[in-house]
Amino acid sequence: MAKTVKDYIRTIADFPHEGIMFRDVTTLFADARGFRMAIDQLLHPYAGQPIDKVVGLEARGFILGGAIAHQLSLGFVPIRKKGKLPGRTIAQNYTLEYGEAIVEIHDDALQPGERVLLIDDLLATGGTAEAGIKLIERLGAKVVGCAFVIDLPELGGRKKLEAMGMDVHALCAFDGL
């Protein structure tokens, strides 16, 4: 039987806290066939659409987004944790299960009207992706799609992003946390 992207993802129990089933994509990235499959499937729904840039969310979104940008012959823009970008930035707060965090983008990374594909490895509550979308839109660009390897539907991220009018694409889903 042919492998799917989900078959390449390892689950680690009780990481980073007891009761969490951590979905580890490093095993997917380490396998050449699995990694290519994931990149091809992430970009497939957007092939032929006018896209100007790929934006990746820190940190695994950089790995995926860089590969997708390369495949589409587009530029790549990182959204990073606060204090990691060297130039002038704009920032966006967001809520985590255990507090708040801030992400930033260079204030000249996107131009008004540019069409952007947002990439990350995992969609859980949608907080990081929502913050990324807000940053992109504050620069005047438009998010044409949000693509993830994994969706954790019980945490509601997909519903949150779709309620914002976003097109959400995920390669696989896992039940639970």
For residue 125, the one-letter residue type is: T
Structural element, H or E, at residue 159: helix 157-163
**Closest C-alpha to 89, from 75, 77, 97:** 77
- Active-site positions? 60, 97
Residues 6+ apart with CB under 8 A from 101: 81, 82, 93, 94, 128
Which token pair is 23? 């979905």
Distance CA 84, CA 44 (A): 31
| Neighbouring residues of 8: CB distance < 8 A, sequence distance ≥ 6 | 27, 28, 31, 34, 37, 38
Closest-CA residue to 120 (of 82, 169, 73, 175): 169
